[in-house]
Structure 1
Amino acid sequence: MKKTLTLTAVLLLSLAFYGYSQELRTIKGSITDGNAPLNDVQVLVRGGASSTFTDEEGKYEIQAETGDMLEYRYAGMKTYKVPVQDVTRFLNLIMVPDIQELQEVTVTSSRRKSQQQLAMEYRFNPKLINTYFGVIDAERAYGRVQMLSEDDINPIGLCILDVIRNRFTGVRTLGTCATGGSVVFRGVGSIGNPRVAIFDVDGQIFRDAPTWLDVTLIKRMALISSVAYTTRYGAIGSGGVIVINTVNGYQGDPTIKDLARLRNNYLEGPVLDENDLQAAQPEYLIALQNSNNQQEARVIFDQYQSRYSASPYFYLDAYRYFYDQEGGRGFADDILRSRKELFTENAVLLKALAFTYQEQGRYKEALELFKDIFILRPHYSQSYMDLAVAYRDADKPARAAGIYARYKYLVDIGFLLESEAFAKVVQHESDNLLQLEADAVGADASKIATDLFVQESTRMVFEWNDSEAEFELQFVNPEGQYYTWKHTFADNEERILEEKETGYSVLEYVLDDSLPGAWNININYLGNKSITPTYLKATIYDNYGTPNQRKRVKTFKLRLKSKNQQLMSLVKAGNSQIR
């Protein structure tokens, strides 16, 4: 049925009926530790009466409704919190050990400052240093802490050994910048068996001196010998700790975009490419790709359809295959029309299809799907950005500007929860629209204050259709150094919970264009608590925010787990080869 609803009607209807879709249903799943099932894991609805335990096979069932928060508790394991969404039916978890970090407080007479207070003061107090275990105040710390603030640090010599040798007393440096070296604190260890200090660089622990670190990137440094702090690092910290905060770790305006250059990480080990992944594809897709002509491919499709008639992913794969074949687009659309009911009312599946339409340049079709998703999820912040981007793609920039304005208004009145991370992405999208589509939306481009961090850059936006998806995105620069962003509950609990409470699934990353050569973007997919695949959309902007801005979209079906696989390669942030 063709939609005749106006934008205003869509907004009003979705907001009016939000809150009436909750219904009690059964959530099923299994819990393991990665190797074997976990028996007696407590599964409960937080704040409710429902509670159960897993059986000997790690399986469970519990009654819950959309909006409930499920908690998974097991002695010695990290407690998991998973919101129940409109599409939640199965939740399979791999629990990890709960390793507690000590909460550091600074004591002044009877006053105690929490880590939250110290973190808030960090950018204004040059005597604060951020360690792997939290923030320390050098003026009030137990024992001796030698501190250098940004005003005291100058690019002395060639490497970190030179800085320590010239700026700190009571220490001895061994080695050279060329061959590497170490640092020994006086009074630590014995003359015949000195204990060398370790380095804590933005939370990364190194035994050897990070002579590879550009000293001009150092924001603050501290030499810590007090056992009150060094014991937290275990035996390797017995020789003292040298803490380094770089400009990237500082919560201000970073002067470098490539996080990999601040770390001694060089890519090792295999990365699967497109050819390696062929064998991991479903049987029916391999059969279609091996067909000799379209007629033969249709016969193969009919043969497999009876087996996979209940799988929307089968039809989505078949649609993509036939759409890419010469003369096959009409049949591809017929495939989706024939099983439209599999996608209806399921925001996760609709988004997977919408991503595919955007990659294919079918912007009108994508817009209609994002309208459906918006009606299903008006309380998700992501719904507003998705709809605005879809309107812009469909050459309706004024409608897009209206959606961004509505989003900001709903955040202001408290209908939508605010997220600093998501707000930054939305701000970049909105500013870009007003800057480049100023005439169409009636804006004065000269008054738009754009973010210089993304302006004229290669900007990448990653979105995933299933909020339960866990993965590790790896950005490898032309020099072979990499930075990994971990989207897992075990490593990034605060971010994961914020995403689900606020309703967004997006990451923004800016490449450092000062490094010529090929960038490789890899991913290690870890699953989505079910047996279904996840769809990841990557939008690449070249020359972002300029009249020469260029946009490309690629969608990836993530199915193979726990294997580092290549997504794309970008050459000099301009010409790309994308699998």
Structure 2
Amino acid sequence: MIKKILLVLFLIPISALAQINEANNQKTISGFITHNNKPLENVTIFVDKTIRYAVSNEKGFYAIKANPGEVLSYSYVGLDEVKVLIEDVTQTLNINLQLKSSITDIEHDKIVQLGESSFGENASSFKAIKVDPKKLNPNATSLTRALEEKIPDILVRINDYGEEIIYFRGKELNGPAVWEIDDVIFDIPYPIFISEVKELLIINNKEFYPQLPITNPLIKVKTSIDYKKVKDLNYNNYYFIDEDYYSGDAKKYKDIKVKYSFLDKFNKVSKDDELLTIYKNNYTLDKNYTNYHLAVFNHFKNKKVDKSMLIKVLSDFEKFTNNPEGLKAVAYNYQELNEGNRAIEVYKRILRLRPNSKQSFRDLANAFYEQKNYNNFLKSYSFYLQKGLKIDATDIGEIMSSEIVSVYNTDLDEATTNQKIKITNPLKSEESDVRIIMEWNVSEAEFIVELVNPKLERYILKNTYSHNPALIVDQKEKGYHSKEIVINSLNPRNHLLNLTYLGNKQYKPTYFKFTTYYNWGRPNQTKKIEVFEISQKNKKIQLLKINRKNL
């Protein structure tokens, strides 16, 4: 009996200690909740699978304690519930709740790449495929969906009007497929029963069908429809309307102005030494302003000051912060300044802070890659694999695969040949006209990327909670914030990349880094790194113009 009592007494402190340790790991998350740009009172914020909760006040403000890895749920009657996974860097979460939608999401869940970003890869090579209509799924919701089930090279997208648009994998920027139904050309097929299809030919190569006046892929359909008996069929409804094409509504990045009051003192000064003096004299007082260092850096960069001054500001921020998101923005800017070795040291520091983040390893490896230090590049990934992390079919996995394959094809140093890392994707593109890596420093950042081909046809990628919440959760759980865009064959005229920023639930802007490789995987490969600070929401901004003059 005494032994049992002692055992119970012994276990009590352990249980209490576990609770204390859990409490010590908790951090306070706070922010404001709004609806239609107005504060929302009495929103309930729960920590999932616990009894911890908070309620927003009349100003919409709330504060709650949570552990990294836990999920906060924001709920209010009549509005869509929002769930947010807490990370080690999470502090501020400003939430905008939306009305519940009564419309079922048409977009299907069949996504080959979770981030849907590796288009341009594994381009469809067939010239034409004849499809037996009898082998199509008679229960498919549309002819478009039946073809998607049958042909792996077909990718279906839903436009803003709920219409199903077909692209061919790897050739998305060539534009969507067009339809020839009973010898009449349409952009979008009018409703056809699968039982009415008599012949079906999918043409992927203009050489196979030279009389076609367009370069898009073609889906040629013969039907048994008796058009004399068809009533109320308005053929004009089956063509793209103006909204399906780029209308030139993106503002250029250089025309987007962001004002910070602490920069006013620099406005009337142009000489480098005077700017530096003002910066040093006011540093102690101003350094605690939100986004101070990076705002000063961008201001100086726009004034085209000496590079040493830019490095001074970034170096001061390195010493000031221990936040991985801020440090990542520093590293991005070092890389844009061609200060690769400085970037390596920052990425090493981020890896120490976030040792289980896939992006931390990739960023360090890529920094070595940029310096052509292939030995340390492969060592970084060897260590990554030793930790039990995998190179999988996520956005970051595709990026890692591309760069590992590139090193094996580029590096002739025999010292690295024994460090083999197996890439399971045998179709991985080894070369292309253009490869773009898009990265951002804040995991909560939401945005829409619009790629425009020379025919002004738009192709849209959405990185948002509302479009694909599973993607955002996967990014945060595995720790990656990047996308890969490959253009195998670049058109002589301009391709545009526009971005609409939707926010990041913080008061700080998000920093986006775009690395554009021309002649990727070829001896004449070149690159250009551009970093953008973006804080204005719901404005379409033109960031990149891509053309053949750089090939």
The verdict on a shared fold, with TM-score over 0.5 as the criterion, is: yes
For residue 38 of structure 2, what is the aligned residue in structure 1? Answer: 36
1:514–1:453: structure 2 CA closer, same or farther, 3 Å change rule?
same
1:475–1:74: structure 2 CA closer, same or farther, 3 Å change rule?
same
Check the 8 A contact 2:365/2:381 in 1, yes or no: yes
Other structure's SS at 1:478 match = coil
309-318 vs 503-512, which moves further: 309-318
Other structure's SS at 1:461 match = strand
Cα distance between partner residues in 1 of 2:32 and 2:399: 35
Q: CA deviation at 1:525?
A: 1.4
Aligned partner of 1:472 among 441, 448, 452: 448
1:443–1:240: structure 2 CA closer, same or farther, 3 Å change rule?
farther
For residue 462 of structure 2, what is the aligned residue in structure 1? Answer: 486
User: Where do 1:136-535 residues align within 5 Å?
Assistant: 138-140=137-139, 163-165=180-182, 177=185, 183=190, 216-218=217-219, 265-268=244-247, 270-278=249-257, 280-285=258-263, 288=266, 290-301=268-279, 305=283, 308-311=286-289, 313-319=291-297, 321-322=299-300, 328-338=306-316, 340-344=318-322, 346-410=323-387, 413=388, 418-439=392-413, 441-443=415-417, 451=427, 453=429, 455-511=431-487, 513-535=489-511
Check the 8 A contact 1:513/1:572 in 2, yes or no: no
Cα distance between partner residues in 2 of 1:308 and 1:467: 27
Amino acid at match of 2:449: L
For residue 55 of structure 1, what is the aligned residue in structure 2? Answer: 57
70-79 vs 140-149, which moves further: 140-149
1:184–1:574: structure 2 CA closer, same or farther, 3 Å change rule?
same
Q: CA deviation at 1:333?
A: 4.2
Check the 8 A contact 1:380/1:503 in 2, yes or no: yes
Aligned partner of 2:83 among 81, 84, 91: 81
Aligned partner of 1:539 among 486, 502, 515: 515
Amino acid at match of 2:72: L
1:269–1:391: structure 2 CA closer, same or farther, 3 Å change rule?
closer
Cα distance between partner residues in 1 of 2:222 and 2:395: 28
Cα distance between partner residues in 2 of 1:164 and 1:327: 61
Q: CA deviation at 1:432?
A: 1.0
Which stretches in structure 2 are left out of the alignment for 5+ residues? 1-20, 114-130, 155-175, 194-211, 226-231
Cα distance between partner residues in 2 of 1:371 and 1:145: 48
Other structure's SS at 1:32 match = strand
Cα distance between partner residues in 1 of 2:373 and 2:139: 58
What per-residue deviation string (whole Å, max 9, x for no partner) do you get for residues 53-106 of structure 1?
2223222111112222212223333322212122211100112334366699xx
Give me the TM-score of the superposition, normalised by structure 2. 0.71
Check the 8 A contact 1:147/1:220 in 2, yes or no: no
Cα distance between partner residues in 2 of 1:561 and 1:501: 25
Cα distance between partner residues in 2 of 1:565 and 1:333: 27
Amino acid at match of 2:356: H
1:320–1:142: structure 2 CA closer, same or farther, 3 Å change rule?
closer
Check the 8 A contact 2:332/2:513 in 1, yes or no: yes
Other structure's SS at 1:547 match = coil
Q: CA deviation at 1:350?
A: 0.6
1:216–1:563: structure 2 CA closer, same or farther, 3 Å change rule?
closer
Which stretches in structure 1 are left out of the alignment for 5+ residues? 1-18, 105-113, 120-125, 130-136, 154-158, 167-175, 187-210, 225-237, 245-260
Greater length-normalized contact order (CA 8 Å, ≥ 6 residues apart): 2
What per-residue deviation string (whole Å, max 9, x for no partner) do you get for residues 317-376 of structure 1?
3345557878844444444555544212x1011101010111111111111110110011
Check the 8 A contact 2:401/2:428 in 1, yes or no: no
1:183–1:418: structure 2 CA closer, same or farther, 3 Å change rule?
closer
Check the 8 A contact 1:223/1:240 in 2, yes or no: no
What per-residue deviation string (whole Å, max 9, x for no partner) do you get for residues 277-333 of structure 1?
23x343444653552312332354357546532036222333455578788444444
331-340 vs 55-64, which moves further: 331-340
Other structure's SS at 1:462 match = strand
1:117–1:335: structure 2 CA closer, same or farther, 3 Å change rule?
closer
1:538–1:20: structure 2 CA closer, same or farther, 3 Å change rule?
farther
Other structure's SS at 2:351 match = helix
- Say if 2:23 is the partner of 1:24: no
Cα distance between partner residues in 1 of 2:275 and 2:27: 40
Cα distance between partner residues in 2 of 1:160 and 1:508: 23
1:360–1:372: structure 2 CA closer, same or farther, 3 Å change rule?
same
Cα distance between partner residues in 1 of 2:145 and 2:304: 70
Cα distance between partner residues in 1 of 2:411 and 2:528: 18
What per-residue deviation string (whole Å, max 9, x for no partner) do you get for residues 397-439 of structure 1?
11111222333444xx4x5695533211211111111211142
Amino acid at match of 2:26: L
Counting aligned pairs with the same residue, the percent is: 26
Cα distance between partner residues in 2 of 1:356 and 1:31: 33
Give the RMSD, CA atoms, in angstroms: 4.7
Amino acid at match of 2:32: S
Amino acid at match of 1:65: N
1:220–1:310: structure 2 CA closer, same or farther, 3 Å change rule?
farther
Cα distance between partner residues in 2 of 1:496 and 1:84: 12
Give me the TM-score of the superposition, normalised by structure 1. 0.67
- Number of residue pairs aligned between Structure 1 and Structure 2: 462
For residue 156 of structure 1, what is the aligned residue in structure 2? Answer: none
Amino acid at match of 1:568: L
